[in-house]
Amino acid sequence: MSVGPESLQSVFDRAFESISRARTAFTPQLTLREVGFVTNVSTGIATVSGLPGVGYEELLQFPGGLLGIAFNVDEDEIGVILLGEYAALRAGDEVARTGRVMDVAVGEALLGRVIDPLGRPLDGKGVPATDQRLPVERAAPAIMDRAPVTVPLQTGLKVVDALIPIGRGQRELILGDRQTGKTAIAIDTILNQRGQNVLCIYCAIGQRASAVAKVVANLSEKGAMDYTVVVVAEGNEAPGLVYITPYAATSIAEYFMEKGRDVLIVFDDLTQHARAYRELSLLLRRPPGREAFPGDIFYIHSRMLERATHLGQERGSGSLTALPIVETEAQDISAYIPTNLISITDGQIYLSPVLFELGVLPAVDVGKSVSRVGGAAQRAAYRAVAGNIKLAYAQFEELEAFAKFGTRLDESTRQSIDHGRRIRACLKQSESQPVSLLEQIAMLLALTEGLFDKVSLERVNDAEQALRKAAADIPADVIERLSTADKQSDADRKAILEVVTRALAPFQTPPEAKHDPNSAT
């Protein structure tokens, strides 16, 4: 098809007219962009000049997509914490302001995912489809927005739920020497939240990649990843990335809390976090204090843990329960970082290496552990059967130490030691085997009534297993009242006691055939 000269001219005229209209309508948009340059690069930090308007903790953009946080804002230069691999960064490279602070992607899409504090996926499943971001540093809820901690957070660990109860919205420190089972307690608590309508955040701070992979595999195998978010900064990451990890994890948890959900967050562990912050502070030439930690080392943890709370009804009644973990050296709980965290939190669970070596697992030292919420976070039925256990156990530990001197003991003392040994045997528990609330109430009632005292120590474990199976025979109406009633009735107690007595009867030894308790180990 041929086009005549007149037709071609009309096409050109229309095109010219269209271009002219577009040129007339175009208004150039001028954006003011403040750009500086890198003057020095060190391990995990950089010094920047030429950004006079930068704000404290503002996010800065470096070449190659590298981000940094303005941490030291001095008159002539800025000390920047680098958030990622900085090997390619050189002096003279351009750096630009972003005009925003460090934030993290939040949303339901994060459940079941493994991410780093920048929101990048580490599980090979692609970038999570989130549409909201929250700053990693946020103000803690005001006092008037908070409600008392009254609802228990069942850990599934008998020794914790009975003697050191944790409530939803509480901050309970887990501390002990390395390899004493601190992470195991936290992971067992996450596993026990299945079906409890509690979302979980596991925050791995400076951990080995193999240790994190083991935890993720355990959570996946037990089906816990369905309600869990794992936020990871490995030990070989830049110290700046390790430093922001717990703050990013807390913001993710706060998103769910503000939606009215109950959330559990585990910080594993804050010793590594404190060391990363010390490294950054020394590199930035901040004045060192005790043990070379900077003067604000207390504040970096207190402002984060203060965000864990139980919100009032006006704010949705959500809760954020924190289980920070800290490592001690040579059982020294009076060291700098442990004492700081003990003073910040609402109690602590201390794991003893001595008990661990003796095979008393979990190795919780009841004498050095405490919950400052206590019975207020226990259900009425549970509190009724667990009330005397801690006192009896504490008396047993004192008497057992006294009995090692070979002193002749009276009958009452022998009975107390005999009873205490059975309490300790019943509180032992294997890893990844949480015990339900109903089974714990049945076991504690049997201990309180002295039914286990007639069972030889060698058969206590078998008797406990039989008791846990028999707990399913407790009437349904009694089970319902255990979770809702303000006070345990005598009739309910009697109904449970009947089931417990039947279950333990085959394991009980007649008094005349019972061996001397002093011979038991």
CA atoms within 13 A on the CB side of 471: 21
Q: Return the closest-CA partner of residue 229 out of 263, 258, 205, 196.
A: 263
Sorted by sequence, the CB contacts under 8 Å of residue 16 that are 6+ apart come out as: none
- Partners of 207 in the beta sheet? 234
- Which is catalytic among the residues 14, 90, 208, 372? 372
- Partners of 61 in the beta sheet? 67, 96
- Partners of 311 in the beta sheet? 146
315 is catalytic: no
Pairing, β 173-176 against β 347-351:
parallel
Q: Specify the DSSP element, H or E, that contains 60.
A: strand 58-61
Pairing, β 58-61 against β 94-101:
antiparallel
DSSP state at residue 178: T
- Partners of 82 in the beta sheet? 68
Contact indicator for 119, 235 with CB cutoff of 8 Å? no
Q: Give dist(CA 252, CA 254) in Å, integer.
A: 5
Cα Rg, the chain, nearest whole Å = 30
Phi, psi of 115, rounded to the nearest 5 degrees = -135, 165
3-class SS shares of the chain: helix, strand, coil, % to 5: 45, 20, 35
Catalytic residues: 372
